[in-house]
Amino acid sequence: MTEPKIAQRSPLVQPAVPGTYWWCACGLSKTQPFCDGSHKGTGLAPQKVDITAERTVAWCGCKHSKSAPYCDGSHGHLS
């Protein structure tokens, strides 16, 4: 698997508290936007994200953002 699966065509906007998060990069996780280990064997790996202050995050749901793990609007240009 060289291209991630599109999990959804919009960001997942959520409050985030300080801590470490593992953002799903493959699109297969059942716990989007976070990794559940479904990437095993795909050649893709989750991205570690350290949030240092409480804030609202727009996680990329399409898995094609150039600003991953954050949404950059790339979902609007996917076919």
Tens digits of per-residue pLDDT, 18-75?
999 999 999 999 999 999 999 999 999 999 999 999 999 999 999 999 999 999 999 9
Task: Please check whether residue 42 lies inside any domain of the structure.
Answer: yes
Task: Please check whether residue 7 lies inside any domain of the structure.
Answer: no
The model's pTM is 0.94
CA distances (Å), 4 to each of 7, 15, 22, 36, 50, in order?
9, 25, 16, 15, 22
Q: Which domain does 20 fall in, by range? A: 12-77
Task: Please check whether residue 2 lies inside any domain of the structure.
Answer: no
Task: Please check whether residue 65 lies inside any domain of the structure.
Answer: yes
Task: Please check whether residue 6 lies inside any domain of the structure.
Answer: no
Task: Please check whether residue 68 lies inside any domain of the structure.
Answer: yes
Domain total of the chain: 1
Q: How far is CA 68 from the centre of its chain?
A: 7
Task: Please check whether residue 22 lies inside any domain of the structure.
Answer: yes
Task: Please check whether residue 31 lies inside any domain of the structure.
Answer: yes
